[in-house]
Chain A
Amino acid sequence: MKFGDSKKYERLLEAYESGDIDRRSLLRIIGAAAAVVGVAGGPLGKLTKSAMAAAQSIRFDGWGGIVSEAFHNNAFPPYTEKTGVKVVEGEFGDTDEFLSLVKASQPGEYNVFLVSGVYDYFRFCQAGFASQINESNIPNLKNVLEPTLVAFRNESEGKLSAVPFDYGVTGLAYNRKYISDDEAKSKGVKLLWDEKYKGKMAGYDSFQTRPWMAALYLGQDPQDPSDIKAIWDACRKQRELVVKYWSSGQEFIDLFAKEEIVLSDGWSGRVASLQNSGQDIGFLSTVGFAWLEGLYVLKGSPMEEAEQLLNFCIEPKVAIAIAEGQFYPTSLDPTKVPMPDSVKKLPGYDDTGKFEGYVWEKAKFWYDHQDEFKKEWSRISKGG
């Protein structure tokens, strides 16, 4: 790293921190550098791979929309400026799709990606794609919430293949123009089976979320169900009321923004995005579950560069800027790193850092049942 580059980066962050430039200006300045990354990540990315490798590059894949935008605007250009390592950006629609891509690729083709939930973390490890992170190369790890580190370590024999980055909550989203807070609170998950909202509700097209909601509706434990047949029957019953099963956060936002629906289960970050754009959307976080996202390093990646990238992304100023951009709270410990109000106000944010009352997915349960549940849900979602 050149001293001059470092200074430039520090001055930029200082200006942002002191209020001399606002976040918009910060994004504009680093956006210019992003053009270089954009070209490298285009359709000709594969052709330029060898050239990029020679120039020290690393590939990062994340969810599209505001999540990728937040990384693109806040993390990568200053990282490249600081280290000289270019970030080649990619996007995926869901983790299944990405796992298929990784499965069909050669080791080292994909490097770092945003893993969503401990179940995904666990299955990438089980599929043989786990790397082992050298924690001493990531000094900022000391600021990360301990429960989130434990959650990942528990799934990979005490070692880390990913660094916890943010967390979110799947809850009940509703349009306050049609559904009051009181009605949402009193009915809870039963709203998703309310005939009154037939043809006006949606749901996430997921083999986890659908039976989870159905289990809550039936009063069962979603991760230790007593009657799975009843759960699938409840899913079938709910399907009659649903107009669309959405498969991306952008689709979820679009359905609410155009008032195609008034009710759906949804992700806290996307609800915050809707609220931020002026939509009067309520969110009931007590219905559903919490999940943890991390920056996962795939086997065969250039580890030193990857660890540098991870360390940079969890640097407090950068992680907070990304949290503000993507509307998901950072996994940094609020007792060690002061959080701005913009992060504290995000849906699902936990100021204690202890996550008391949060329900997390049990990776092994979903992994053990994934084949059966995916096939069953795929069929039910299509009327089978």
Chain B
Amino acid sequence: MVRAEYRPYFLLSPALISLALLLLAPVLFIFVYSFWLRAANGQDIPAFQFGNWITVGGDPFYWLALRETFKISAITTVICMLVGYPTAYFLARCRFNNKALLLFLLFLPFWISYIIRTFAWINVLGKSGFVNSVLLGIGIIDKPLSLLYNDFSVIMGLVYFQLPYMIINVYVSLDGIDRNLESAARTLGCTAWQTFREVTLPLSLPGLGAGSLLCFVLAAGSFVTPRLLGGTDTLFFSQLIYEAIISQLDWPTGSVLSLMLLLSLGIIVAVYNRFMSLSDIYRSFAK
């Protein structure tokens, strides 16, 4: 029999053990690796030195890659906000009897492999793809547009993947708003737009915030989309990590790069928390 004061720990133990094994232990391994040395034949030599950190930190190329990654991720997040909010608003406010069906449809594409869905964009954006064929067919353009293998196609692929995450976050937030507050605003003379601006939007901000944070973090860590849809000008940090570990067999440098991305994202989350408390976000889901 577990004593009462230990019961919460006992009940939490599966989650704590899972976190320790699946998250903390790998990060710890990566951290230790970041101080190791690499021999010429690709073998790793246990050591404790800061050479890898100094090399990576002092190289402007890696900072440029980080900046480019965050730029693409930010654009993706803004597009997801602009496209996702109206969709979520419609889902929350429509009088369709079976909303569960709409939510089911929202996640239906997830039944298909992410890689296959990403490849599908090649058929949509390619020179002989759907968009160019339609535009050529109706005479708007006379030669195919270069829509593929550039930042544009990467952003499209990322938005496509992350939009459902944004929509569901905003939807949960909107659905939790007490409709009487909106009715009260209208009774007191607000127009529909004023009601949305003064009541609905502020109350749904935690959902929008949660969705934005999720989209940004997922985009910054993306690998498959930039690899398949990106071109020679696409610079994504995850590709550098992949190449350091897989192509160059340089696990110590790859570990430093992984931690650099992790720490940068951690700082962004901390700053985000400073201006928009994460506790508000958690609360919005608790409603």
Which residues of A have CB within 8 Å of B235? 382-383
Of all chain A residues, the one with the shortest Cβ separation from B242 is: A97
Which residue among B128, B234, B248 has the maximum number of chain A CB atoms within 10 Å of its CB?
A: B248
Interface residues of A in 242-296 (CB under 8 A from B): 242-245, 247, 254, 258-260
**B247 adjacent to A243 (CB under 8 Å):** no
Say yes or no: A244-B232 contact (C-beta < 8 A), given A96-B246, A127-B42. yes
What are the interface flags for A81-110 relative to B under an 8 Å C-beta threshold, 1 for contact and 0 otherwise? 000000000000010110110010000000
Whether A96 lies near B239 (C-beta < 8 A) is no
Shortest beta-carbon distance from A61 to chain B in Å: 15
Q: Given A127-B42, A258-B122, A258-B126, A381–B245 Cβ distance below 8 Å?
A: no
B240 CB-CB contact with A under 8 Å: yes
**A103, B41: Cβ atoms closer than 8 Å:** no
Q: Is the CB of A103 within 8 A of B249?
A: yes
Contact among B65, B128, B148, B247 for A382, CB-based, below 8 A: B65
Complex Cα spacing A99 to B43, Å: 12
Please pick, from B65, B234, B246, the residue contacting A100 in the complex, using a CB distance under 8 A: B246
Q: Which of A51-59, A223-231, A336-344, A371-379 contacts B (4 or more CB under 8 A)?
A: A371-379
- A126 and B41 contacting across the interface, CB-CB below 8 Å: yes
Q: Is the CB of B231 within 8 A of A244?
A: yes
For A103, the chain B residues whose CB sits under 8 A away are: 42, 249
A299 within 8 A of B: no
Task: Answer whether A371 and B40 are a contact pair too, CB < 8 Å, given A244-B149, A258-B126, A383-B233.
Answer: yes
Within the assembled complex, what's the spacing in Å between the Cα atoms of A382 and B232? Answer: 6
Residue from A94, A123, A207, A243 in contact with B231 in the complex, judged by beta carbons closer than 8 Å: A243
Residue of A nearest to B230 (CB): A244
- Give complex CA distance A199, B61 in Å: 25
Interface size (B, Cβ < 8 Å)? 31
Taking the closest CB of chain A, its distance from the CB of B136, in whole angstroms, is 13
Instruction: Report B-chain residues with C-beta under 8 Å of the C-beta of A254.
Output: 122
Closest Cβ of chain A to B186, distance in Å, is 54
**CA A381 – CA B126 in complex, angstroms?**
22
Chain B residues lying within 8 Å of A242, measured Cβ to Cβ, are 232
Please give, as numbers and ranges, the residues of chain B lying within 8 Å of A382 by CB-CB distance.
65, 232, 234-235, 239-240
Instruction: State whether B247 touches A374 (Cβ < 8 A).
Output: yes
Contact B127 A379 (CB under 8 A): no
When distances are taken between beta carbons in the complex, the residues of chain A under 8 Å from B128 are: 258-259
Residues of A within 8 A of B65 (CB): 382
Q: Smallest Cβ distance from A220 to chain B, in angstroms?
A: 23
Determine whether A4 belongs to the interface, using a CB cutoff of 8 Å to chain B. no
Question: Across the interface, do A378 and B148 meet the contact criterion of CB distance under 8 Å?
Answer: no
B232 lies within 8 A of A383 (CB)? yes
Instruction: Tell me whether A99 and B249 are in contact (CB under 8 A).
Output: yes
The residue among A126, A247, A260, A375 with the most chain B CB atoms within 10 A of its own CB is A260
B149 near A379 with CB under 8 A, answer no
Q: Which chain A residues lie closer than 8 Å to B227 at the CB level?
A: 247
> B178 to nearest A CB, angstroms?
46
Cα distance A100–B243 in the bound complex, in angstroms: 11
B248 touches A378 (CB 8 A): yes
B146 within 8 A of partner (CB): yes
Whether A243 pairs with B246 at a CB distance below 8 angstroms is: no
- Residues from chain A with a CB closer than 8 A to the CB of B61 are 379, 384
Chain B residue at minimum C-beta to C-beta distance from A378 = B243
- B245: chain A residues at CB < 8 Å are 100
User: Does A72 have its Cβ within 8 Å of any Cβ on chain B?
Assistant: no
**Separation of A203 and B129 alpha carbons in the complex (Å):** 22
A245, chain B: closest CB distance, angstroms: 6
- Do A374 and B248 form a contact, CB below 8 Å, given A243-B149, A258-B127, A384-B61? yes
Looking at the assembled complex, report how far the CB atom of A99 sits from the nearest CB atom of chain B, in whole angstroms: 7
A127 with B239: in contact, given A96-B246, A244-B231 (CB under 8 Å)? no
Binary A-proximity of B250-274 (CB < 8 A = 1, otherwise 0): 1000000000000000000000000
B232 touches A100 (CB 8 A): no
Tell me if A378 and B232 are in contact (CB < 8 A). no
Whether the Cβ atoms of A378 and B127 lie closer than 8 Å is no
Contacts of B129 in A (CB 8 A): 258
Report chain A residues within 8 Å CB of B232. Answer: 239, 242-245, 381-383
**B:65-83 near A, CB below 8 Å:** 65
In the complex, what residues of B have CB within 8 A of residue A374's CB? Answer: 243, 247-248
Contact A97 B243 (CB under 8 A): no
Scan B135-147; emit 1 where CB is below 8 A from any A CB, else 0.
0000000000010
A371 contact set on B, CB distance < 8 A: 40, 248, 250
Residues of B within 8 A of A123 (CB): 41-42
Determine the chain B residues whose CB is within 8 A of the CB of A100 once the complex forms. 245-246, 249
Q: Which of B43, B122, B126, B249 has the most CB of A within 10 A?
A: B249
Residues from chain B with a CB closer than 8 A to the CB of A199 are 146
| Complex CA–CA separation, A207 to B232 (angstroms) | 15
Chain B residues with CB under 8 Å of A247's CB are 227
> Bound complex: CA of A245 vs CA of B247, how far in Å?
15
Listed by A's residue number, 22 A-B pairs whose Cβ atoms lie within 8 Å are A94-B247, A96-B246, A96-B249, A100-B246, A123-B42, A243-B149, A245-B232, A254-B122, A258-B129, A259-B128, A260-B126, A371-B40, A374-B243, A374-B248, A378-B240, A381-B232, A382-B65, A382-B232, A382-B240, A383-B233, A384-B61, A384-B64
Q: Which 9 A-B pairs have the closest CB atoms?
A: A96-B247, A244-B149, A378-B243, A384-B61, A374-B248, A382-B235, A258-B126, A97-B246, A100-B246
